[in-house]
Amino acid sequence: MAEIIDGKRISSEIKEELKEEVAKLKAQGIEGCLAVIQVGNDAASSVYVRNKKKACEYIGIHSKSFELPENTTQEELLKLIGELNADSSVNGILVQLPLPGHIEEKTIINAISPKKDVDGFHPESVGSLTIGQKGFVSCTPAGIIELLKRSDVFIDGKNCVVVGRSNIVGKPMALLMLRENATVTITHSHTKNLKEICKSADILIVAVGKKEFITGEYIKEGAVVIDVGIHRDENNKLSGDVKYEEAAEKASKITPVPGGVGPMTIAMLMHNCVLAMKS
Ligand code: NDP
């Protein structure tokens, strides 16, 4: 049976480290402030925003909350971002996604100053990651690297298969694994022989967005399995993109859902906020 990679414990460990770092920065007169913008009142987004603000409070940085009505125009949102970009008391800007349909996400992401892009979604941040320069890294993939390292998974030289190529998970994940010297295969909805490719993975990272899509048949004996997926059923029970019981029979280490990748995303957002304070 696989060993569980405990994202809850590791994320708490990271938040404790960040809390200490923030205290040291404060002693040098450096304060942190994250601006969190939410447009509309999507229930899931409200929970994420609340948790992000709570994490800020926990590690000792301020958060400025902007709860804008659903009918906010793109121009109004761009104006606010412009003001926050110019406000030297704000180190990080986060716009909670998804945005209402009349606002173009790409335009909003591109408007955030790369210096304050704590989500790591700005093209400049993505470009820096691609060519190995310093910059903010998308929080979920960055959290997965921390999960692997802090669970003593050796990445260098390993075969890594990433299922999914989204801009916020799959692609940055593949780039980060490449940076750690893994041999990386990216798969997507047009991939042929997905099962065989997944079975070649020493480290299998699944961000496909389909409930329990990856069964035991996709997993090599002894592989490390990271499940990024989050699915909530009608009874509020969470499950992932991986069929956990079957996968745990084959894997050497595995992340559960909940309690695996999920808690790492906010911890790494806080990490990015502390980086922003220092730059
Ligand atoms: P997207 O829907 O943006 O991307 C899904 C990817 O899976 C696409 O690249 C798609 O390929 C690929 N795909 C779809 N079907 C198949 C298939 N049959 N075979 C192979 N690949 C396939 O999802 P995200 O990356 O945003 O999220 C993935 C999951 O992770 C979701 O469940 C989401 O809720 C969760 N998530 C969890 C986070 C956390 O904090 N734990 C954070 C972010 C996401 P193609 O490009 O060809 O369409």
pLDDT band at residue 115, thresholds of 50, 70 and 90? very high
Name the residue with the closest Cα to ligand 1, atom 34: 230
d(CA 168, ligand 1 centre) in Å: 9
160-168: average pLDDT: 97
pLDDT of residue 19: 98
Q: Is the distance from CB of 272 to CB of 136 less than 8 angstroms? A: yes
Atom of ligand 1 nearest to the CA of 240: 32
Examine domains 30-113 and 139-262 and report if their fold is the same: yes
| Ligand 1, CB within 6 Å, residue ranges | 140, 163-166, 168-170, 187-191, 194, 207-210, 228-230, 241, 261-262, 265
166, 171, 197, 204: residue to mutate for ligand 1 pocket, most atoms within 8 A of CB: 166
DSSP state of 214: B
Ligand 1 centre to CA of 210 (Å) is 7
For the chain, the domains span 30-113, 139-262
pTM for the full model? 0.97
- Quick one: how far is CA 65 from the chain centroid? 21
From atom 15 of ligand 1, which residue's Cα is the shortest distance away? 189
CB 10 within 8 A of CB 260: no
Average pLDDT for 105-134 = 97
Q: How many percent of the chain have pLDDT more than 90?
A: 98
CA-nearest residue for atom 5, ligand 1, is 208
Ligand 1 centroid – CA 230 distance (Å): 10
* Banded model confidence at residue 152, pLDDT cuts 50, 70, 90: very high
Tell which CATH architecture fits domain 30-113.
3-Layer(aba) Sandwich (3.40)
Q: What is the pLDDT of residue 218?
A: 98
Write the pLDDT tens digit of every residue in 83-102: 999 999 999 999 999 999 99
What's the pLDDT tens digit per position in 171-202? 999 999 999 999 999 999 999 999 999 999 99
The predicted structure's pLDDT at residue 109: 98
Residue 45 banded pLDDT, cuts 50, 70, 90: very high
Distances (CA, A) of 126 to 30, 46, 160: 27, 26, 20
**Cα–Cα distance, 265 to 52 (Å, whole number):** 10
In whole angstroms, what separates CA 127 from the centre of its chain?
Answer: 17
pLDDT at 17: 98
Strand ranges, E, within the chain: 3-4, 33-39, 62-68, 92-95, 159-163, 183-187, 203-206, 224-227, 231-232, 238-239, 253-254
Strand 33-39 relative to strand 253-254, pairing? unpaired
Please say if 8 is a catalytic residue. no
pLDDT of res. 123: 97
Q: Which atom of ligand 1 is nearest to the CA of 210?
A: 32
Average pLDDT, whole number, for the chain?
97
CATH architecture of 139-262: 3-Layer(aba) Sandwich (3.40)
Substitution candidate for ligand 1 out of 169, 211, 213 with most atoms within 8 A of CB: 169
| Per-residue confidence band for 245, with pLDDT thresholds at 50, 70 and 90 | very high
Render pLDDT for 60-76 as a digit per residue (tens, 0 to 9): 999 999 999 999 999 99
CA 164 – CA 127 distance, rounded (Å): 19
The pLDDT of 219-234, averaged and rounded, is 97
Closest residue CA from atom 36 of ligand 1:
229
Let me know: does 44 contact 262? Beta carbons within 8 Å.
Answer: no
